C-alpha cells in the first residue's frame, strides 16, 4: 500500500516546516541534557532559553516534595472523572488556593490550559452567539471558539478600534445574543501585552463577556504574580480568568477563575472537564505548592529576581531583531527572522554554541514570520544571558554575510 503520509511529510520538509521531538534526559532547568545530538549521537548539555518555567519551579524541591507526599497519601491515578469519584482533597485544596490567590469567588482546575479553553468557550457561547478573538490568540482559544459553533470574528492584533467596530456589528446584527471577547494578557509568541484597561472599557460599553488567557502573565506580572488583570486592577471586570499551572507554576494543568456561578456552570457544561479523568492528585498537590509559594514573600522575591533577568536581557540583547524601545512586557523575547529556513539555521548555529532556542515557524506563527523565541527565567545566571546575547550577535552576523554573498 502507498504510504499515505510520506508525501505530506516530504512536502513539509521542502518548506522547512517539518518538526521533530528532542529527548531531554535531565530535569528542567536553565541547563538541560539532550540525547543523541550531532553525528556521534551522544548526549549534550545546553543552556536552555526556550522553557516557560519562568520561576524555575518545575524541578523545585517544594513541588517535588508536595507531589511525593500526595503520592504517598493518595496514590498516582485519580481513577475517575472529577464528577464521579476523581475529586480528591488535593484538587479541592488547589481550587480554594487558586481562588484566594486570584481574588475570585471560585476556581476550577483542568488537566491542561488547552483543555480549559476547549471546555470553557463552548460552555459560554453557542451557535448564533458571537466570539471575537485577537489575531494572535493561542491555538487553544481558536480551537475552543471553533468548537463552540459561535460566529467567530478575528480582529487584528491589539487593534481595539477594529474590535470596537466588530462589537458594534455584533450588537447590531445579532441583537440579544451573547458576545465573548477572548484574548491574552502576554502574547505567547510575540511577548507583548494587551491594552487591558482600554479593552475593559470596551467590553463594558458593549456588555460583552471578557475571557483573558493569562498563561504567560501569571507568576510573572502583578502582585504575587497574580497576572495582568490584577496588575491593572481590573480583575472584577475580567469575567473569565484563564491560566495554566504548567508554565511559571512549574506543574501541569489549567484553570479558570471567576464567579461561583461561572464555575458551577463549567462543572455542569465544560466537556473537557466532565469527560476526562481527573488529573493525578500528585500534580494537583504540586500546583498547590506553587500557588502557596507565589502567594508568599519568598515567591514575590523570586518574581522580582525574574524581572532582574528580564531587564538584563533587554539591556544586553543586540538591537536588530528586537524591539528595545518599549519596556519589556514579560519574559518572552521574539527574535523575528522571517524566513523559515533562516530561522532554522540561526537556531542550529546557536545550538552548536550550546544554546537551545528553537525556531518557531508556521503554523504556530504566520508564514514568513519565523522567529527564535527566547524566554528567560529567574534561574538563569547573568553570564548565561550575556553569552547568549553574544552568540546571537555572532550567529546573526554570520548568517547575514552568507545571505548577502554575491
Kindly list the residues in this chain that would bind ligand PLP in the complex (CB under 6 A). Answer: 112-114, 138, 140, 184, 188, 213, 215-216, 244, 246, 254
Residue 263 CA: distances (Å) to CA of 127, 203, 241, 254, 381: 22, 21, 11, 14, 41
For the bound state, the minimum distance from the C-beta of residue 108 to ligand PLP, rounded and expressed in Å, comes to 14
Q: Retrieve residue 66's grid coordinates.
A: 508536595
**Nearest Cα to 348, choosing from 399, 390, 281?**
399
Helix (H, G, I), strand (E, B) or coil at 190: coil
Q: Which is nearer to ligand PLP, 112 or 396 (CB)?
A: 112
CB-based closest residue to ligand PLP: 113
For the bound state, the minimum distance from the C-beta of residue 359 to ligand PLP, rounded and expressed in Å, comes to 17
Q: Is 216 a catalytic residue?
A: yes
What DSSP string describes 224-237? GG--HHHHTT-GGG
Catalytic choice (91, 138, 203, 247)? 247
For the bound state, the minimum distance from the C-beta of residue 172 to ligand PLP, rounded and expressed in Å, comes to 31
Q: Is 35 a catalytic residue?
A: no
Alpha carbon of residue 326 to chain centroid = 21
For the bound state, the minimum distance from the C-beta of residue 214 to ligand PLP, rounded and expressed in Å, comes to 8
The DSSP bridge partners found for residue 371 are 336, 360
Q: Which is nearer to ligand PLP, 129 or 213 (CB)?
A: 213
Catalytic choice (109, 148, 185, 188)? 188
Q: Which is nearer to ligand PLP, 113 or 299 (CB)?
A: 113
Q: Which is nearer to ligand PLP, 254 or 299 (CB)?
A: 254
Residue 316 CA: distances (Å) to CA of 44, 311, 388: 27, 9, 10
For the bound state, the minimum distance from the C-beta of residue 192 to ligand PLP, rounded and expressed in Å, comes to 13
Residue 291 CA: distances (Å) to CA of 197, 245, 326, 378: 26, 9, 30, 17
Catalytic choice (102, 138, 216, 380)? 216
Q: Retrieve residue 199's grid coordinates.
A: 479593552
Q: Which is nearer to ligand PLP, 215 or 372 (CB)?
A: 215
What's the rounded Cα separation, in Å, for the pair 33 and 46?
6
Residue the block writes with cell 538591537: 319
What's the rounded Cα separation, in Å, for the pair 203 and 187?
19
Q: Is 188 a catalytic residue?
A: yes
Residue the block writes with cell 481574588: 103
Which residues carry out catalysis? 188, 216, 247
Amino acid at each position: 500500500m502507498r504510504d499515505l503520509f510520506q508525501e505530506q511529510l516530504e512536502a513539509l520538509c521542502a518548506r522547512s516546516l517539518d518538526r521533530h521531538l528532542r529527548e531531554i534526559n535531565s530535569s528542567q532547568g536553565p541547563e538541560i541534557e539532550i540525547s543523541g545530538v550531532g553525528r556521534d549521537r551522544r548526549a549534550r548539555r545546553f543552556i536552555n532559553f526556550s522553557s516557560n518555567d519562568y520561576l524555575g519551579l518545575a524541578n523545585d524541591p517544594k513541588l517535588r516534595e508536595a507531589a511525593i507526599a500526595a503520592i504517598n497519601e493518595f496514590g498516582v491515578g485519580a481513577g475517575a472523572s472529577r464528577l464521579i469519584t476523581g475529586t480528591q482533597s488535593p484538587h479541592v485544596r488547589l481550587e480554594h488556593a487558586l481562588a484566594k490567590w486570584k481574588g475570585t469567588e471560585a476556581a476550577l482546575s483542568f488537566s491542561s490550559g488547552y483543555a480549559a479553553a476547549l471546555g470553557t468557550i463552548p460552555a459560554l457561547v453557542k451557535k448564533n452567539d458571537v466570539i471575537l478573538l485577537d489575531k494572535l490568540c493561542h491555538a487553544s482559544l481558536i480551537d475552543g471558539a471553533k468548537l463552540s459553533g459561535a460566529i467567530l470574528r478575528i480582529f487584528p492584533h491589539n487593534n481595539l478600534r477594529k474590535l470596537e467596530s466588530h462589537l458594534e456589528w455584533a450588537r447590531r446584527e445579532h441583537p440579544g445574543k451573547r458576545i465573548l471577547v477572548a484574548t491574552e494578557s502576554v502574547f505567547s509568541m510575540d511577548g507583548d501585552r494587551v491594552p487591558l484597561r482600554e479593552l475593559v472599557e470596551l467590553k463594558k460599553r458593549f456588555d460583552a463577556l471578557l475571557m483573558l488567557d493569562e498563561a504567560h502573565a501569571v507568576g510573572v506580572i502583578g502582585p504575587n504574580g497574580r497576572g495582568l488583570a490584577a496588575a491593572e486592577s481590573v480583575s472584577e471586570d475580567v469575567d473569565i480568568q484563564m491560566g495554566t499551572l504548567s508554565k511559571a507554576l512549574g506543574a501541569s494543568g489549567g484553570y479558570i477563575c471567576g464567579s461561583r456561578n461561572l464555575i458551577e456552570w463549567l462543572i455542569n457544561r465544560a466537556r473537557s472537564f466532565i469527560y476526562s479523568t481527573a488529573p493525578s492528585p500528585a500534580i494537583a498537590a504540586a500546583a498547590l505548592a506553587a500557588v502557596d509559594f507565589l502567594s508568599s514573600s519568598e515567591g514575590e522575591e523570586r518574581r522580582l529576581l525574574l524581572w532582574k533577568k528580564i531587564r538584563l536581557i533587554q539591556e544586553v540583547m543586540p538591537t536588530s531583531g528586537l524591539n528595545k524601545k518599549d519596556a519589556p512586557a514579560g519574559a518572552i523575547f521574539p527574535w523575528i527572522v522571517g524566513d523559515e529556513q533562516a530561522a532554522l539555521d540561526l537556531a542550529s548555529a546557536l545550538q552548536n554554541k550550546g544554546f537551545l532556542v528553537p525556531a518557531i515557524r508556521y503554523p504556530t506563527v504566520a508564514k514568513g514570520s519565523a522567529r527564535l523565541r527566547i524566554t528567560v527565567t529567574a534561574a538563569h545566571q547573568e553570564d548565561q544571558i550575556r553569552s547568549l546575547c553574544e552568540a546571537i550577535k555572532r550567529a546573526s552576523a554570520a548568517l547575514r554575510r552568507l545571505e548577502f554573498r554575491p
